Every structure is written in C-alpha cells, then in structure tokens.
Amino acid sequence: MQELETLSSPADIVSETKRLLYIESYGCAMNFSDSEIIGSIMSENGFDYTQNEFEADVVFLNTCAIRDNAEQKIRDRLKHLKNNKRKNSDLIIGVLGCMAERLKTKLLEEEKLVDIVAGPDSYRDLPKLVAEVENGNKAINVLLSREETYAEISPLRLNTNGISAFVSIMRGCDNMCSFCVVPFTRGRERSRDPQTIIQEVQTLSEAGYKEITLLGQNVDSYLWFGGGPKIEYKHLTDEQKNSSVNFAQLLEMVAVVNPNMRVRFSTSHPKDITDDVLLTMKKYDNICKHIHLPAQSGSSRILDTMNRTYTREWYFDKVKRIREIMPECTISCDIIVGFCGETEEDHQETITLMQASKFIFSYMYKYSERPGTLAQKKMTDDVPEEVKSRRLSEIIDVQNKISLENNLKMVGKTVRVLADSYSKKSKEDLCGRNDQNNMVVFPKANHQIGDFVEVVIEKVSSTTLIGKSIV
Ligand code: 5AD
Ligand code: SF4
C-alpha cells in the first residue's frame, strides 16, 4: 500500500507525459472484470488506457489457465508480440492472471519476452512491478491472498458499451472440483463487502447503465461476515451471524438500487443454490430469469470422481425446484466430456440430463488435464482424444436440437429486449437479450442501443430469435 502511494504521487506532476497501457483479456468474465480493476490501479499511477497495442508503453495479457488450449493461445500471442517489442525496445510486457499464477517463475524462464508475471491477487502491486522493470529487472508477484477483494477500487470501464457492466462480488473458489485448476490459481474463496458492491452498482446506475452481472466462481456461496476466507454460516459466531449477508440478501440489496436496471449473476453451483435465492429472483422483476447452473456431467459416478458433491438426481431436483418457483426461468450449463474413466454409458447419461433439463445453451468442453489438480495426480486421462472429439460433437448436436426446440416455442411471443449492439450482419438491425437470455435480432426502426424494446418473435434459428419491434 505504502509503495502504491509513493508511486501514485508523481502522477499529477508527470500528467503531461502519461504513459499508455494496453490490456487484452482472455477466459472468463471474471478476468474481464479484473482487467477493469487493473485499468483503474494503473490510471491512478500515471497510465492512460489505449485500444491500440502499437502505441502502448505497457502491454498486459490477462490470462486463463483452465484448459491447455487457453494457455497455448497466450504462447502464440506472445510470439506475435515479438514484433511489437522489435519496434519499441522499451515496451514492457506483463502476463497476468491464472496462467501467470500457475507457471510463476517458469513463465519468465520459458518466455524471454515477458517482463512481468503477476497473479490475480497482486494487482495493487503492478505499478511497482512496472517500476522494477524500468530499473532493468524482471518482476514477479504471485502471492495469493486470503483477504484481497479489491473492494474499494472503482473499476475503469474498458471497451464498455455503457449499457452492461460486470460487478465482482467474490474471489477464489473452495470447491476443489477434481478437474479444475481455479482453486490453485485464484486461491481461497472470499466475499466482498456488500456496502462497496452496492456503492458500485449505484454508481453504474447513475452513469446510465441498464444491466449488471454479479460475478463470482460460486455466487450462491457468497457470505459476508466481516472479511477474510470463507467460513460456513454454521461456524460463525452469533455476532457474525447477526450482521452477515448471504447471496439471497445481497441479490435483494442490489435489485432495489434501481428497479429499472436488470440484474444478472454467474456462476451458480447446484450444491449451493437455495430456495431463498430462487424466491428473491421471483420477487423482483428486474432480476433476470436465467440461471447458469453447470452440471459438468450427467453421470452420478463421474460427478463423484469430479468431486462435484451432488448426484444426477440432486441436479434434477434443483432444475425442478427452479421451474416450480419460476416456470419461465431458463437454465444454461457447462459440460465436460471425456473426463477420466467416462464410459459410453456415462456419456449417454450426460445426453439424457441435457435433454431432460432443456438448457437454453451450454458451454461444452473436452476434458483437458491440468497439472496439480486432483484428477491429474490420482486419475488417468484415459479417454482417447478421438473419443472425446466424437462425444463433444454429439453433445453439441444434442444442444443445438434442444435450443431449436426451445426457440420454436417462442414464435409469436413478445419479449422485452435490451438492445446492446448492432447485429453482426447489418447496421439496420439491433441485437440484444431478453430477460431469459435469448439472443434477439430485430430491425432498428427508431430504436437505439441502450433501449428496452418489446419485440414480437417471427422466426428463429437454434441460436437466435428474430422479430419486429412493436412500438
Ligand atoms: N477441462 C475441461 N473443461 C474444464 N472446465 C474447468 N476445468 C476444465 C478442464 N480441466 C470447464 C468447466 C467449468 C468451465 C468454466 O470450464 O465446465 O465450469
Ligand atoms: Fe473450478 Fe469447480 Fe470452483 Fe468452478 S466450482 S471454479 S469448476 S473448482
């Protein structure tokens, strides 16, 4: 903290010669949100943000480590950055985020181009790390924290459309799913002070934002009791219990800030989502009726080896409960195929789980073994690559069929869309999402990006609803 202050004080004096920072984000929404925190820290310390990598003095890649191909992408990107360094030998290149945390000093050894390696809990230290490089050294900070939530930092909204924003509510993950590297790269789960969350939401509302998404690796496990690593509610003292805030309570606090501002959240864990959360969603019209509820597999045997701590039946019960409380609520999913020991029978169970749950969309992946995880240490990555590929294309087909069936049911219905961009195909069409998170495209007419528009659906594809606005 001390060093931040010393470094930040000359910023005013050198404002004439502000340096330029370029950030590229990879992976999950959390990383994109972190980049906005990084932007804010750097701007307090004499940097302006640029969208042009070639004029930058500092380039940060905020990386993902969840699958091997995510890291491969960064290695390829670094090769390209060689050209930037050739043109500007003073250019500082930093690798930040999960890949930095996973590889630590190895990254400096393997990628000579890299000057800074910084893990997800070290971003307050970035100005100091840059100064270290300017003094001719390589710089690294990969310490994980049990407390850091960047709570009071007001994110610098990067590449924003001024309509939707992410708000980070917690960091880390304590779940230890056996396939997942995140608990090792993002550390222990900790929740952010709700007052700072509400303050940020209020600021976004005043700035005219129309939609916010609360972010965390496992939002349903959010629990504020004064800070520090997660403690189960039952283990809190009476005093901590009285002043604690859980996710259902936080959701309500956020929803009432501005009833005209949409509230979304991600990601939910089937073991943690509660009736209280579902009832709060039902109670407030501005909380979107969509839940991202990764199942990962439809086989209880595989779920057990994945250490997901629920069964196929438990997952079905959650889906049933969601639909009992909010019949209109949509559910999306993450699925991994080809996890250690997955048989054809297990794979068929994944398919039937998808069909029965009627997911609005799914993110689907081939299992990628990650060093240091329980699966890598104790299990064998024994499903051949070609079988993984075949199973993946089978579940993609299944999901496309489900999506088309879901979408066909929307024809003739009227949905409320928040227009957030032009359609990719034509500037004459606007694009946005309805409450349930369907993508909707419609002729612009006299509507603008940022408007809520009532659209009657006329035709559909498996990915998109197409319609006309009713004025
Ligand atoms: N291999 C493939 N997919 C993975 N995910 C997490 N770890 C792995 C892995 N080792 C997927 C999960 C998770 C999503 C963010 O990434 O489905 O929900
Ligand atoms: Fe990874 Fe599981 Fe945590 Fe999600 S809940 S980040 S899959 S360990």
What pLDDT, on the 0 to 100 scale, is given for residue 161? 87
Give nearest CA residue, ligand 2 atom 2.
177
Q: How many C-beta neighbours within 10 Å does residue 298 have?
A: 25
How far is ligand 2, taken at its centre, from the CA of residue 180, in Å? Answer: 6
Selected from 3.50.50.60, 3.40.50.300, 3.40.50.1860, 3.40.50.12160, the CATH number assigned to the domain covering 3-141 reads 3.40.50.12160
- CA separation for the pair 222, 230 (Å, rounded): 8
Q: Output the CA angle 178-184-190, nearest 5 degrees.
A: 105
The residue type of 320 is: K
- CA separation for the pair 55, 22 (Å, rounded): 9
**DSSP H stretches of helix in 9-125:** 29-43, 68-87, 98-103, 105-110
What pLDDT, on the 0 to 100 scale, is given for residue 16? 55
Closest approach atom of ligand 1 to CA 363 = 17
**DSSP H stretches of helix in 105-243:** 105-110, 126-134, 182-186, 194-206, 238-243
Kindly list the distances between the CA atom of residue 72 and the CA atoms of 58, 248, 344, 369, in Å, as whole numbers in the listed order.
22, 39, 29, 14
Domain 164-408, what architecture? Answer: Alpha-Beta Horseshoe (3.80)
- CA separation for the pair 266, 220 (Å, rounded): 9
Q: At what angle do helices 247-255 and 194-206 cross, to 10 degrees?
A: 20
- CA separation for the pair 350, 270 (Å, rounded): 15
Kindly list the distances between the CA atom of residue 268 and the CA atoms of 48, 169, 254, in Å, as whole numbers in the listed order.
35, 13, 17
Element (H, E) at 407: helix 385-408
**Contact by Cβ (8 Å): 382, 340:** yes
Query: 306 in ligand 2 pocket by Cβ < 6 Å?
Result: no
Q: Which DSSP category does 237 fall into?
A: -
CATH number of 414-469: 2.40.50.140
**Contact by Cβ (8 Å): 222, 269:** no
Best residue for ligand 2 mutational test, from 66, 180, 334 (most atoms within 8 Å of Cβ): 180
Query: 173 in ligand 2 pocket by Cβ < 6 Å?
Result: yes
Name the phi and psi angles at 134, rounded to 5: -65, -25
Q: Indicate where the chain has its CATH 3.80.30.20 domain(s).
A: 164-408
How far is ligand 1, taken at its centre, from the CA of residue 241, in Å? Answer: 34
**Contact by Cβ (8 Å): 174, 223:** no
Q: Report the Cα 104 to chain-centroid distance in Å.
A: 23
Q: What SS3 state is found at 128?
A: helix
Name the phi and psi angles at 15, rounded to 5: -60, -25
Give nearest CA residue, ligand 1 atom 2.
367
- CA separation for the pair 436, 438 (Å, rounded): 6
What pLDDT, on the 0 to 100 scale, is given for residue 223? 97
How far is ligand 2, taken at its centre, from the CA of residue 107, in Å? Answer: 24
Nearest to 48 by CA among 87, 18, 79: 18
Q: Indicate where the chain has its CATH 3.40.50.12160 domain(s).
A: 3-141
- CA separation for the pair 451, 256 (Å, rounded): 20
Give the pLDDT confidence of 282-315 residue by residue, as tens digits.
Answer: 999 999 999 999 999 999 999 999 999 999 999 9
What stretches in the chain show pLDDT beneath 50? 1-15
- CA separation for the pair 209, 261 (Å, rounded): 7
Query: 175 in ligand 2 pocket by Cβ < 6 Å?
Result: yes
**DSSP H stretches of helix in 409-453:** none
The residue type of 152 is: E
Q: Ligand 1 pocket: which residues have CB below 6 Å?
A: 66-67, 179-180, 294, 296, 334, 336, 365, 367-368, 370
227 φ/ψ sector (left φ>0, alpha ψ -120 to 50, else beta): left
Give nearest CA residue, ligand 2 atom 4.
217
Lateral strand order in the sheet of 262-266: 164-168, 211-215, 262-266
What pLDDT, on the 0 to 100 scale, is given for residue 2? 30
How far is ligand 1, taken at its centre, from the CA of residue 369, in Å? Answer: 10
Closest approach atom of ligand 1 to CA 180 = 7
End-to-end Cα spacing for the chain: 54
The residue type of 39 is: G
Closest approach atom of ligand 2 to CA 218 = 5
